[in-house]
Amino acid sequence: MQKPTSEHEHWMQHALQLARQAAAAGEVPVGAVVVKDGQVVGEGANAPLARHDPTAHAEVQALRAAAQQLGNYRLDGCTLYVTLEPCTMCSGAMLHARVATVVYGAAEPKTGAAGSVLNVFDYPEINHQTRVVRGVLAQECAAVLAEFFQQRRAQQRAVALANHPLKDTALRNPDSAFADLPDWPYAPQWRSDLPALGGLRMAVVDEGPKEAPLTWLCLHGAASWGYGFRHLVAQWLAAGQRVVVPDLPGFGRSDQPKRDKAHTAAWHIQILQELAQAMDLRHVVLVGEGDGARLGLAVAQAMPGRFAGGWLIDCWPGSTPPRPLAQWLQAAANKPQWEVVLGMVQAGFWPAGQMQQAPLAIPFAQAGHRAALKAWPRVQAQLPAVPQELLAQWLARNRCWITRSASNALMPAQQAWADAWQAATPALREYPAALWQTPAYPMLPAQAAVGAVRAVEYFAASSDGSAVSGPLPSSAPS
């Protein structure tokens, strides 16, 4: 024999059926029923979409039906059953109707007005008092909603996949792995239209007004992804600038070729070139971190008219990397257990103990997703030489910063680093102030707050020479 159901459960089952009808119609599944003297006098299913009516919640529908049925807008002695905790509107309507009791199923922690967020029924100042009964068949009621949202997400995923199908030669991190990242509320555009991508899906964050005077093109280096730029990005957006932050294939939210052979320097440069063209990027300031700067320089050399200048962050200019950098890249490439965040900390990019940086490691969480890391020592050796003439032009126009973080453990000391840059770009001897040291990695919050503002002042200044002697950051070498 079945367990006897209480009267509340009996009527809640009725409301659940109405909720399922709403789900079948594509509405968020909520059902409500008004009962008087053991009889249904009104029922309602959530229907704001179909009715183009923001007030067409299940409870309001049920109240209207009951009032019609009883020929009275006052529903004295009635009990309203609803599968989900009512919102403020519905709770208010129930008070107006003088409903005696409201019985709900699942709590609604975001908008519930019967105790979760606020409790409309608990004001002694309000004349009419409605009794509230909570949690009747709560699990069943919540399950109907959960199933509905799960199905809807699956449909949305299917649509997204149909637009950008995943190649069987590539891997893709699930979107859910990137949900609710701290300080990264940006939804990327998905691009698989660039010929060089060969059908891979690339993630590109594009924020800020298209007509902004400058576009900051942020290119990450090995073992990182666009997320590393988040504090700089927030500052530039607050200043009304436009930022474009792609994840290179193999990194971040972009598709990851399974074979490390897919990665070559020429391939990444080609993709970025096609991206700049497809997005018609102009007045671009390259913000390149590590080898991202080298890739960006190659792109800028191929299309100098699109670029206004560059900020090269912790970038090594030579073809042979300094030993610590080479060892670090080898460790990332060869050790499947190499921890990305720990590697960043050891390199001096992030202070130890800041494990909120952990999202940086998401894209490489599984061994199969590390082909880009595995490829990188080889890719690094393929990077084209630093384009001297382009840098000389930027330097002459006051549009070039080359910075080294004082905390960077992968680069040689300041002087040796500056010497390497001057060897790669003789024009730098005329503009020694372009080479300077930041006290910390420019992507760290405090440093980003200072650096982003200074960068806007510097790169947005008129290029007629008036800013040549302008103030450089205090940490610039004298």
**Shortest distance (Å) from residue 59 CB to Zn ion:** 6
Residue from 164, 152, 299, 274 nearest 219 by CA: 299
Contact 271, 197 (CB under 8 A): yes
**Which of 90, 295 has the CB closer to Zn ion?**
90
Residue from 429, 418, 417, 420 nearest 392 by CA: 429
- Token digits for 229? 């730029």
Specify the pairing of strand 400-405 against strand 215-219. unpaired
Contact map string, positions 39 to 78, toward Zn ion, x by CB under 5 A: ------------------x---------------------
Which one among 56, 67, 87, 222 touches Zn ion, defined by CB under 5 A?
A: 87
**Which of 57, 64 has the CB closer to Zn ion?**
57
Which one among 65, 90, 237, 371 touches Zn ion, defined by CB under 5 A?
A: 90
**Shortest distance (Å) from residue 111 CB to Zn ion:** 8
Count of residues making up the chain: 478
**Which of 86, 250 has the CB closer to Zn ion?**
86
**Shortest distance (Å) from residue 130 CB to Zn ion:** 15
Contact map string, positions 3 to 42, toward Zn ion, x by CB under 5 A: ----------------------------------------
**Shortest distance (Å) from residue 60 CB to Zn ion:** 7
Q: Crossing angle for the helix pair 371-382 and 291-302, nearest 10 degrees?
A: 60
Residue from 132, 123, 129 nearest 98 by CA: 129
Containing H/E element for 293? helix 291-302
**Which of 85, 314 has the CB closer to Zn ion?**
85
**Dist. CA 255–CA 202, nearest whole Å:** 6
Stretch that binds Zn ion, among 81-89, 362-370, 373-381, 407-415 (CB under 5 A): 81-89
**Which of 45, 90 has the CB closer to Zn ion?**
90
Contact map string, positions 341 to 370, toward Zn ion, x by CB under 5 A: ------------------------------
Q: Does 340 bind Zn ion (CB under 5 A)?
A: no
**Dist. CA 434–CA 424, nearest whole Å:** 14
**Shortest distance (Å) from residue 74 CB to Zn ion:** 20
Name the E strands within 345-447.
400-405, 435-438
**Shortest distance (Å) from residue 149 CB to Zn ion:** 17
Stretch that binds Zn ion, among 80-88, 125-133, 376-384, 402-410 (CB under 5 A): 80-88
Containing H/E element for 105? strand 101-106
CB atoms within 10 A of CB 389: 11
469's CB contacts (< 8 A; 6+ apart) are: none
**Shortest distance (Å) from residue 473 CB to Zn ion:** 54
Per the listing, tokens 């109405």 go with 18
Per the listing, tokens 């019985």 go with 103
Stretch that binds Zn ion, among 89-97, 276-284, 297-305, 428-436 (CB under 5 A): 89-97
Q: Which among 59, 85, 274, 289 is annotated as catalytic?
A: 59
DSSP annotation of 245 = E
SS3 for 16?
helix
SS3 for 67?
helix
7 catalytic, yes or no?
no
**Dist. CA 220–CA 306, nearest whole Å:** 19
SS3 for 33?
strand
Give the binding-site size for Zn ion (rule: CB under 5 A).
3
In angstroms, what is the C-alpha Rg of the chain?
30
**Shortest distance (Å) from residue 138 CB to Zn ion:** 17
SS3 for 217?
strand
Residues that bind Zn ion (CB under 5 A): 57, 87, 90
Catalytic residues: 59
